[in-house]
């Protein structure tokens, strides 16, 4: 394991320097206000247990609307993985308005994704994976009006379509809801101080008779605490609650944890149920020049409303490196994480590697 992690570190440093060196200069200039509309194109390479190695590219556009101090960002990206998964995706955050700021956000894409799902529940007995082919299209949008003192609120819309062959009937749902947000972070890319809180609720109507109407309620609370110079502690609490007829809810809408952002070390989708609670923290510290490190840990689980069983919580912990690529504090991130599901320290399934861009939270 140590030799593989060293290989990841070497790839991480070399790749990050070569890939983003040119684009980062453009982003530095837009953050300084020197350019109105830069467009950055960079190749991408990523790794996670769910995808294996993935290769692709991204285009990012940065601009400021008239009367706005905040920088708006629009991104288009796509990749193909060694697991024969591919996707096209676009997301953006646009700040508009003169007398009052509106925050327009969207996220959408399509994927052809051989994937795996597991039996719902929080018990771990070496769950057998059920392989299926996923053909998914989705679009999500929200418009938040800045109220003042860091608060904003507004409606959100979500359309979701997926044909999951061999697992469940085709899902086609339209959701309408609202978002309340409190945000005092100093920056959105790599916050060093401030608080972020979001409460989201959305109701879904199904266009197919096989699946019923349902709802999702989620919370996200983050706190960034500077300790000394570049030493920073950050923590996050997240919860998700699914409401509806249990037998007819799409499994993709059942709360889950794991992956590269929430309880790293646990495979995403291995545990799903009616509700999810998770808490994680990360200590970020400087190493040398543009290189920094992190030590992180998280704990969480999923629960069933009808049979609320307290089992051994799912724990993920590990270490990582960050390479700062521009003044906006955008980082290339590599993490080595371990879970508590396997007792043996030599079990390959207990370790996960992640190579990606931006922070987990």
The answer to whether the beta carbons of residues 350 and 342 sit under 8 Å apart is yes
CB 316 within 8 A of CB 298: yes
Q: Check which CATH number belongs to the domain holding 62 and give it.
A: 2.40.160.50
Residue 105 contacts residue 93 (beta carbons within 8 Å): yes
Which residue shows structure tokens 């392989």? 131
> By three-state DSSP, how is residue 7 classified?
helix
**What pLDDT digit, counting tens, does each position of 38-84 carry?**
677 778 888 887 788 889 988 888 888 888 888 888 989 999 999 88
Q: Which residue has the higher pLDDT, 269 or 178?
A: 178
Q: What is the mean pLDDT of the chain?
A: 84
pLDDT in tens, 269-297: 889 999 999 999 999 999 988 899 999 99
| Residues 105-163 pLDDT 10s | 999 999 988 888 888 888 877 667 788 888 999 999 999 999 989 999 999 999 999 88
118-122, 148-152, 190-194, 217-221: segment of lowest average pLDDT: 118-122
Burial class (CB in 10 A: 0-12, 13-18, 19+), 169: middle
**Residue with more model confidence, 19 or 359:** 359
Residue 162's nearest CA partner among 201, 210, 200, 202 is 210
What are the CA-CA distances from residue 126 to residues 164, 276, 301, 313 (Å)?
Answer: 23, 20, 16, 15
Range of the domain at 299: 2-357
Question: Is beta strand 194-206 parallel, antiparallel or unpaired with respect to 171-183?
Answer: antiparallel
Structure tokens at 7: 């290989």
Q: What is the pLDDT of residue 98?
A: 82
With 0.85 as the threshold, say if the pTM is over it.
no
Residues in a beta bridge with 217? 201, 241
Domain count, the chain: 1
Helices (H), 260-327: none
Q: Please provide residue 263's backbone torsions phi and psi, each rounded to the nearest 5 degrees.
A: 60, 65
| 82 contacts 49 by C-beta, under 8 angstroms | no
- pLDDT over 90 at 100, yes or no: no
Q: Is the pLDDT of residue 30 over 60?
A: no
Which percentage of the chain shows pLDDT scores above 70?
86
Kind and range of the H or E run holding 284: strand 275-288
Which of 40, 9, 66 has the alpha carbon at shortest distance from 293?
9
pLDDT at 86 over 70: yes
Instruction: Provide the sign of the torsion angle of the four alpha carbons 51, 255, 221, 351, taken in this order.
Output: negative
Q: What mean pLDDT is predicted for residues 207-219?
A: 83
Q: Would you call 174 helix, strand, or coil by DSSP? A: strand
């Amino acid at each position: 394991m140590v030799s593989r992690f060293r290989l990841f570190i070497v790839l991480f440093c070399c790749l990050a320097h070569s890939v983003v060196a040119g684009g980062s200069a453009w982003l530095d200039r837009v953050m300084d206000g020197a350019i109105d509309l830069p467009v950055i194109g960079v190749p991408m390479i990523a790794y996670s247990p769910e995808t294996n190695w993935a290769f692709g590219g991204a285009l990012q556009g940065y601009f400021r609307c008239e009367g706005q101090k905040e920088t708006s960002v629009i991104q288009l990206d796509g990749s193909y993985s060694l697991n024969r998964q591919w996707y096209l995706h676009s997301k953006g955050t646009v700040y508009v308005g003169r007398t009052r700021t509106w925050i327009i956000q969207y996220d959408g894409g399509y994927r052809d994704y051989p994937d795996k799902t597991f039996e719902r529940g929080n018990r771990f007995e070496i769950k057998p994976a059920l392989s299926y082919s996923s053909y998914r299209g989705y679009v999500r949008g929200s418009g938040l009006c800045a109220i003042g003192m860091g608060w904003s609120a507004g409606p959100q819309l979500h359309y979701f379509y997926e044909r999951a062959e061999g697992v469940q009937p085709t899902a086609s749902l339209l959701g309408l809801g609202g978002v309340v947000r409190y945000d005092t972070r100093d920056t959105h890319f790599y916050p060093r101080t401030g608080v972020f809180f979001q409460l989201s609720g959305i109701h879904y109507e199904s266009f197919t008779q096989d699946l019923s109407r349902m709802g999702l309620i989620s919370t996200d609370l983050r706190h960034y605490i500077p300790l000394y110079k570049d030493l920073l502690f950050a923590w996050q609490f997240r919860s998700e609650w699914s409401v509806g007829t249990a037998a007819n809810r799409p499994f993709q809408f059942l709360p889950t944890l794991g992956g590269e952002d929430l309880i790293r070390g646990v495979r995403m989708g291995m545990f799903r149920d009616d509700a999810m609670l998770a808490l994680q923290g990360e200590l970020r510290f400087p190493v040398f020049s543009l290189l920094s490190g992190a030590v992180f840990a998280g704990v969480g689980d999923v629960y069933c409303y009808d049979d609320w069983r307290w089992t051994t919580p799912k724990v993920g912990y590990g270490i990582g490196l960050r390479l700062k690529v521009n003044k906006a504090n955008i980082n290339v991130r590599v993490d080595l994480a371990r879970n508590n599901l396997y007792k043996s320290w030599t079990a390959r399934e207990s370790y996960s590697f992640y190579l990606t861009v931006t922070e987990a939270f």
